[in-house]
Amino acid sequence: MADAPMLQVSNLESWYGESHILHGVDFNVQEGEVVTLLGRNGAGKTTTMKSIMGLVGRRAGSIRFKGEEIVGLRPDLVARRGIAFCPEERGIFASLDVTENLMLPPRIAEGGLDIERIYTLFPNLQERARSPGTKLSGGEQQMLAIARILRTGARLLLLDEPTEGLAPVIVQQIGRTIREIKALGFTVLLVEQNFRFAATVADRHYVMEHGRVIDMIPNAELEQNMTKLHEYLGV
């Protein structure tokens, strides 16, 4: 089945404690695509990513990765299947230097970038190899967070708002990085609020509202759907 999606999320529901956050999320990601989840604050975008990784308390529905059901798996087992997560808050560890942060995730498969390749993509990280991770600038921390998961051999990367709070010049740099990652054959699921940025990197966009996917817009049709998108996102 050459066209079977790499990631197929069907009727996904999630809870934080008693709070029911996702109410049946459906979408898919094909291998080699960059797909974004767009939506207002509180739409359930980050929870969707955390649900895929097994980082929420309770999940129901189906998450199939390369045909295998992973909805009941622990986060480490999800990661071992080949999915890597870069959280919104970047998750740089204060007690680890840049190199230690970079080398922290174990290699889970062949095909990850070697350290030389990573330093070519992110030269700043090499210059600051021995600095504590949290002493880097926001942009450098974001680069480190992305670089860290490129090493592992995971082929599906979940990037949660990688441009949040960054200067426009750094946002452009992140955009270039995501395009390079795509060119290297990685598949990317991206959570974004900034749809202008998303339009520069993505193939398709899913729009989320109130814990559901309410629309899918191919990037090529974004211009025609701009009015609708403005309504969805309230911009």
Partner 1 sequence: MMMILGIPAPLLFGQLMLGVVNGAFYALLSLGLAIIFGMLNIVNFAHGALFMLGAFTSWGLLNYAGIGYWWALLLAPLIVGAFGVVLERLFISKLYKLDHLYGLLLTFGIALILEGLVRNYYGSSGLPYRIPAELQGAQDLGFMIMPNYRGWVVLAALVMCLITWIVIEKTSIGAKLRAATENAPLVQSFGINVPRMITLTYGAGVALAAFAGVLAAPIYSVNPGMGANFIIVVFAVVVIGGMGSILGSIITGFGLGIVEGLTRVFYPEGSATVIFVVMVIVLLARPAGLFGRAH
Residues forming contacts to partner 1 in the complex (CB under 8 A) are: 53-55, 74-76, 78-80, 84-85, 87, 91, 93-96, 100, 103-106, 108, 149, 152
95: how many CB neighbours lie within 10 A of its CB? 9
* Nearest distance, CB of residue 82 and partner 1, angstroms: 10
* Nearest distance, CB of residue 93 and partner 1, angstroms: 5
Q: 165: which strand partners? A: none
* Nearest distance, CB of residue 134 and partner 1, angstroms: 10
* Count, residues in the chain: 235
Residue 171 near residue 200 (C-beta atoms within 8 A): no
* Nearest distance, CB of residue 96 and partner 1, angstroms: 6
The residue among 91 and 111 lying less far from partner 1, judged by its C-beta, is 91
The residue among 76 and 231 lying less far from partner 1, judged by its C-beta, is 76
Residue 120 sits at the vertex; the CA angle it makes with 118 and 123, to the nearest 5 degrees, is: 95
Laid out side by side, the sheet with 19-29 consists of 19-29, 7-16, 58-65, 68-69
The residue among 98 and 201 lying less far from partner 1, judged by its C-beta, is 98
The residue among 31 and 100 lying less far from partner 1, judged by its C-beta, is 100
Residue 52 near residue 39 (C-beta atoms within 8 A): no
